[in-house]
């Protein structure tokens, strides 16, 4: 899957013009419905390690794409022997492809996919959330986190990808403000980009 993602990079740069024209999250999702947009392999291993170490009962992911990050999360849940993953995705095409991949790798029974707008679908979660991965559209990081906050357990980890990008700055400002109840660190993952790893204090 990473090999396929690497082969898409030239096309992805060319498709960037469509992203600029898109005005809604759904249009953006549809414009990139056949692209992986994955976490780096190193970030995937970090996610796996964090989930193994914290043993969360419920992992929530915002922005599944084609499921590479989800596979890392669910693999850790499987190896822990406890927990499950709830993930979100707006692109129906990506949901279909990822669901097939999850079944192929034997993780389908640990993953629930919520298709549609995460600011609506995640409202249905009514149990404690122990681990969150934010890896969808950056302008939705703060709204999604605020939606989940009433359900975050004390000590819950919140990991946000691509926080080195300009459109993630409002999230960085929010999560680093002590008044909002988090402590954390910025973790470099690629040139000029980072993951923000935060704990609900």
**Average pLDDT of the residues in 148-159:** 97
CATH label of the domain that carries residue 119 = 3.40.50.150
Q: How large a percentage of the chain has pLDDT more than 70?
A: 81
In this structure, are residues 111 and 80 in contact, taking their beta carbons and an 8 Å threshold?
no
Cβ burial of 189 (10 Å; 0-12, 13-18, 19+) is middle
**Average pLDDT of the residues in 150-173:** 95
149: helix, strand or coil: helix
Looking up tokens 């980072």 gives: 194
Q: How large a percentage of the chain has pLDDT more than 90?
A: 63
How high is the pLDDT of residue 193?
80
| pLDDT for residue 122 is more than 60 | yes
Which residues, 6 or more positions from 169, have their beta carbon under 8 angstroms from its beta carbon? none
How high is the pLDDT of residue 33?
62
- Residue 85, sorted as left (phi over 0), alpha (psi -120 to 50) or beta, turns out to be beta
Domain limits at 28? 2-200
| pLDDT for residue 20 is more than 60 | no
In the numeric block, which tokens belong to residue 109?
């029974």
Q: How far apart are CA 168 and CA 65, in angstroms?
A: 18
Mean pLDDT of the chain: 87
What's the pLDDT tens digit per position in 69-112? Answer: 999 999 999 999 999 999 999 888 889 888 999 999 999 999 99
What's the pLDDT tens digit per position in 26-72? Answer: 666 666 666 656 678 888 899 999 999 999 999 999 988 888 899 99
The tally of domains found in the chain comes to 1
Which residues, 6 or more positions from 113, have their beta carbon under 8 angstroms from its beta carbon? 64, 87, 88, 89, 95, 98, 99
């Amino acid at each position: 899957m990473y090999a396929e993602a690497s082969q898409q990079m030239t096309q992805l740069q060319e498709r960037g013009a469509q992203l600029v024209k898109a005005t809604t999250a759904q249009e953006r999702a549809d414009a990139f419905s056949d692209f992986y947009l994955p976490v780096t392999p190193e970030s995937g291993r970090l996610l796996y390690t964090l989930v193994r170490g914290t043993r969360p009962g419920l992992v929530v992911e915002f922005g599944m794409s084609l499921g590479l990050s989800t596979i890392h999360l669910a693999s850790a849940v499987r190896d822990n022997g406890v927990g499950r993953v709830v993930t979100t995705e707006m692109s129906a095409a990506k949901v279909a492809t990822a669901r097939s991949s999850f079944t192929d790798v034997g993780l389908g029974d640990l993953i629930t996919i919520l298709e549609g707008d995460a600011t609506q679908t995640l409202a249905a979660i009514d149990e404690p959330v122990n681990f969150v991965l934010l890896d969808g559209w950056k302008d939705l990081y703060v709204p999604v986190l605020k939606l989940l906050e009433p359900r975050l357990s004390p000590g819950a980890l919140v990991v946000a990808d691509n926080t080195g990008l300009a459109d993630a700055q409002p999230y960085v400002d929010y999560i680093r403000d002590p008044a909002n109840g988090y402590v954390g660190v910025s973790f470099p993952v690629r040139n000029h980009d980072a993951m923000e790893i935060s704990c609900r204090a």
